[in-house]
């Protein structure tokens, strides 16, 4: 059971495609992905959706194989159509890295892209995720955001939950929870994704 997530704040100046290295796409995207970018009416949005998908799958894979090195082109993304320009929505798909496959959801709007990748073939598992804007202390804010959601899902007091470590782990009264957890932040945004096993008992 593994999950990864990545958020992109599209209001950040560094997300402008004109500011990227001329060979960025060649280094990061495979041939099919580059063809999709060339054909897309929403190239900017698709560009960061593909990037976030790769990042999220890498984070999920690192939990399973800690020695994994991030080589973006080795994470092949298949993604359904994006929402219409200017509209919020979700694209679904899959990320493949060698023999590993991850189910994928990418949530998009005009201001952000949030990708969640989880181990393939885990029907019934509960996936929690959320994106929020913060002013400062991104690390603390995203942990509080995740703790509140996990506490609500498991009927636990969020004040008794602690999220520590890299990769992050959730603890309740010092005991580890059976939960896959991923945290991310970019610009003014923080985000998390958590996967709880099917039938996870309340503590």
pLDDT tens over the chain, length 203 residues: 799 999 999 999 999 999 999 899 999 999 999 999 999 999 999 999 999 999 999 999 999 999 999 999 999 999 999 988 788 999 999 999 999 999 999 999 989 999 999 998 766 688 999 999 998 999 999 999 999 999 999 999 999 999 999 889 999 999 999 889 999 999 999 999 999 876 554 44
- Token representation of residue 102: 């991850």
Number of domains in the chain: 1
- Identify the pLDDT of residue 192: 98
Query: Whole-model pTM above 0.85?
Result: yes
- Token representation of residue 7: 């958020």
Q: Does residue 60 contact residue 2 with C-beta atoms inside 8 Å? A: yes
Angle, CA of 45, 72 and 44, to the nearest 5°: 10
Instruction: Establish if 203 belongs to a structural domain.
Output: no
Beta bridge partners of 196: 126
Instruction: Establish if 120 belongs to a structural domain.
Output: yes
Instruction: Establish if 201 belongs to a structural domain.
Output: no
CATH code where residue 25 lies:
3.90.470.20
- Identify the pLDDT of residue 200: 57
Instruction: Establish if 34 belongs to a structural domain.
Output: yes
Full residue range of the structural domain in which residue 9 is found: 3-196
**Alpha carbon distance 118, 93 (integer Å):** 11
């Amino acid at each position: 059971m593994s999950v990864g997530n990545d958020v992109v704040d599209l209001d950040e100046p560094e997300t402008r495609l004109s500011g990227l290295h001329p060979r960025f796409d060649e280094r990061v995207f495979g041939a099919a992905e580059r063809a999709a970018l060339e054909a897309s009416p929403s190239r900017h949005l698709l560009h960061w959706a593909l990037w976030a998908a790769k990042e999220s799958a890498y984070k999920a894979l690192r939990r399973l194989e800690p020695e994994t090195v991030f080589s973006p082109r080795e994470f092949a993304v298949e993604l359904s159509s994006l929402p219409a320009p200017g509209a919020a929505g979700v694209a679904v798909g899959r990320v493949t890295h060698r023999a590993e496959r991850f189910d994928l959801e990418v949530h998009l709007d005009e201001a952000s892209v949030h990708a969640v990748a989880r181990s393939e073939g885990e029907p019934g598992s509960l996936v929690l995720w959320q994106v929020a804007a913060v002013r400062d202390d991104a690390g603390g804010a995203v942990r509080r955001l995740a703790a509140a959601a996990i506490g609500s899902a498991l009927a636990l007091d969020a004040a008794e939950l602690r999220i520590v470590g890299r990769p992050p782990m959730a603890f309740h009264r010092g005991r580890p929870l059976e939960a896959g957890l991923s945290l991310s932040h970019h610009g003014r945004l923080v985000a998390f994704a958590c996967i709880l096993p099917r039938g996870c008992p309340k503590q």
